[in-house]
């Protein structure tokens, strides 16, 4: 008679097995904001040609880009063998019509809808977090019911401390939203710049992170500033800055993060994206 593992041990082993199988190299994609200048001057097809030429197969986009309709956007992706598993959608568009956002995501073929910014004037505060938490739970439930996932991309201004020792407004937002309906996309640059520790946050909320924005901060640049703003020159090719990528990506793989989107906000993305790719492809967490 074969010995049986306790049920808890069985599931724990299954989770470890899945995470051990996952390899971040399989899902290195590009956030198309990185190529905004090329898209503006030469059009979306030219930007997608660059992505294909760099050997990537996944992108993260937004709504319609310029005058490009969502149908045209999807056709341009399909023509190049590219997929957009995730799309960014503004808070205002979600407030206006979640059903329209869901429709666009399905046209694009995206399975994840991510809000990248919370509009605010002055300091980000607890009262706004309460309102945003309610909105995120509502939108997340609607998007989940449509067979998609909803997430938020912290931007650094959420690291204002709360009355709870060691916690920030980001903790309040994560803890206040329902895990089954609201996930999070970690922008490693903005977490670090805002004063957070990417590795600790991945470990603290291991089931909430579904994607990373892979972006590095210049050596010597200030950090620990929850402003959500930094000069473009504080962004550098991944692997040449302050971030310990072996630790960050190794932890992300461990907790089950699937997508790793390069977001290049440096002054020279056409030079730095290939450098970032070379570093990531050689990285062994």
| CB within 8 Å of 21: residues ≥ 6 apart | none
C-alpha 272/C-alpha 276 separation (Å) is 6
Model confidence at 22, pLDDT cuts 50, 70, 90, reads: confident
Domain span including residue 107: 24-282
Q: Per-residue pLDDT for 21 more than 80?
A: no
Q: Which of 239, 244, 245 is nearest to 277 (CA)?
A: 239
Instruction: Tell me if 3 is assigned to some domain.
Output: no
Contact yes or no for 67/40 (Cβ under 8 A):
no
pLDDT in tens, 152-199: 999 999 999 999 999 999 999 999 999 999 999 999 999 999 999 999
Flag whether 147 is in a domain: yes
Does residue 4 sit within a domain?
no
181 occurs within a structural domain: yes
Helix axes 245-255, 7-21, angle to 10 degrees: 130
Residue 180 is assigned to a structural domain of this protein = yes
* Residue 143: Cβ within 10 Å count: 24
Which residue is it, tokens 């579904």?
Answer: 210
Residue 1 lies in a domain: no
Instruction: Specify burial of residue 138 (Cβ count, 10 A radius: 0-12, 13-18, 19+).
Output: middle
Number of domains in the chain: 1
**How many Cα atoms sit within 13 Å of 4 on the Cβ side?**
4
Q: Are 256 and 19 in contact (CB under 8 A)?
A: yes
Is 256 domain-assigned?
yes
For the chain, the average pLDDT equals 92
Tokens 């473009």 label which residue?
232
Q: How far apart are CA 36 and CA 212, in angstroms?
A: 20
pTM of the model: 0.91
pLDDT per residue as tens digits for the range 102-116: 999 999 999 999 999
| pLDDT per residue as tens digits for the range 232-241 | 999 999 999 9
Contact 6, 242 (CB under 8 A): no
**C-alpha 240 chain-centroid distance:** 21
pLDDT, position 64: 57
Domain CATH for 198: 3.20.20.150
Q: For residue 255, is it within any domain?
A: yes
**Measured distance CA(170)–CA(186) in Å, rounded:** 11
């Amino acid at each position: 008679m074969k010995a049986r593992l306790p049920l808890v041990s069985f599931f724990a082993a299954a989770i470890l097995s899945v995470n051990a199988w996952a390899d971040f190299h399989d899902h290195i994609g590009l956030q198309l904001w990185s190529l905004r200048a090329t898209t503006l001057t030469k059009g979306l097809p030219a930007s997608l040609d660059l992505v294909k030429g760099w050997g990537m197969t996944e992108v993260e986009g937004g709504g319609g880009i310029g005058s490009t309709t969502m149908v045209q956007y999807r056709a341009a992706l399909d023509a190049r063998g590219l997929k957009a598993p995730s799309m960014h959608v503004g808070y205002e568009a979600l407030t206006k019509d979640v059903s329209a956002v869901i429709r666009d995501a399905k046209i694009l073929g995206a399975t994840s809808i991510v809000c990248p910014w919370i509009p605010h004037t002055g300091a980000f505060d607890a009262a706004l977090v309460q309102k945003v938490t309610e909105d995120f739970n509502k939108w997340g439930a609607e998007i989940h019911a449509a067979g998609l996932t909803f997430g938020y991309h912290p931007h650094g201004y959420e690291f204002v401390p709360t009355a709870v020792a060691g916690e920030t407004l980001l903790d309040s937002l994560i803890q206040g939203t329902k895990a089954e309906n609201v996930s999070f996309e970690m922008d490693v640059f903005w977490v670090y710049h805002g004063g957070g520790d990417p590795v600790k946050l991945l470990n603290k909320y291991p089931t909430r992170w579904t994607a990373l924005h892979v972006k590095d901060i210049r050596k010597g640049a200030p950090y620990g500033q929850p402003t959500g703003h930094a000069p473009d020159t504080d962004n550098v090719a991944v692997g040449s800055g302050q971030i310990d990528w072996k630790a960050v990506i190794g932890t992300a793989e461990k907790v089950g993060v699937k997508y790793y989107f390069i977001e290049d906000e440096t002054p020279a993305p056409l030079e730095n994206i290939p450098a970032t790719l070379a570093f990531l492809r050689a990285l062994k967490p």
